[in-house]
Structure 1
Amino acid sequence: MRRVVSLYLPTWPTDRIRRRFGAPPPDEPLVTVITEGSRRLIGAVDRAARALGLRAGQTIAHAQALVPNLHIVDATPEEDRASLNELARWCIGYSPIVAPNPPDGIWIDIAGAAHLFGGEEKLVAHLVRRLTTQGIQAMASVADAPGTAWAVARYGHQALVSPGRAIDAIAGLPVAALRLSAETVDGLHRLGVERIGQLAAMPRAPMVRRFGKDVALRLDQAFGQVFEPLNPLLPKETPLRRVGFTEPIGRLEDLAAVVQRLAQLLCHDLTRSALGIRRLDLIFERVDRRSVALRVGTAKATRDAKHLAKLFDERLQTVDPGFGIEAAILIASKVEPLSDKQVEAAELGSDGASGVDLSRLVDRLGARLGPKHVYRLAPVESRLPERSMQRIPALAPMTGLTWPDGLPRPTRLLDPPESVTATALLPDHPPAFFIWRRVRHRVVRADGPERITGEWWLSDKERSSLRDYYRVENEQGARFWLFRDAPADQGGRWWLHGVFA
Structure 2
Amino acid sequence: MDAGRGSRMALCLWWPGFELELERVRTPALADRPLALPTPGDRRRIEMGCALAASFGVEPGMIVSQAIALCPSLVLCEPDPDFYDAARDRVLGVLRRWSPVIERSAERGRMFVGVDGLERLYGRPERQIAGLRARLEALSPWLASRSRIGCAPGKFAAWVAARAAEPARSAEPARPGAAVCVTPADLAAFLAPQPVDVLPVSPRMVERLKRLGVRRLGQLVRMPEPALVSQFGADGRRALAWARGTRIDRVRPEAPARPIRVALDFPSPIGQLELLHAALDRLIGRALEHPRRRGKSVRGLRVSASLEDGGSWSIRAVAREPTSEPERLGAFLRSRIALDRPRRAVETLRLEFFRFGPASAQTGLFDPKEGAARVLGSLETKDGELLPAFCRAARLLRLRLGGAALFRVLELEPNSRIPERRHALMEIA
Task: Pick 1 or 2: higher relative contact order, CA cutoff 8 A, min separation 6.
Answer: 2
Q: Give the alignment's TM-score, normalised by structure 1.
A: 0.43
Q: Give the alignment's TM-score, normalised by structure 2.
A: 0.50
Q: Which has the higher strand share?
A: 1
Higher Rg of the two aligned structures: 1
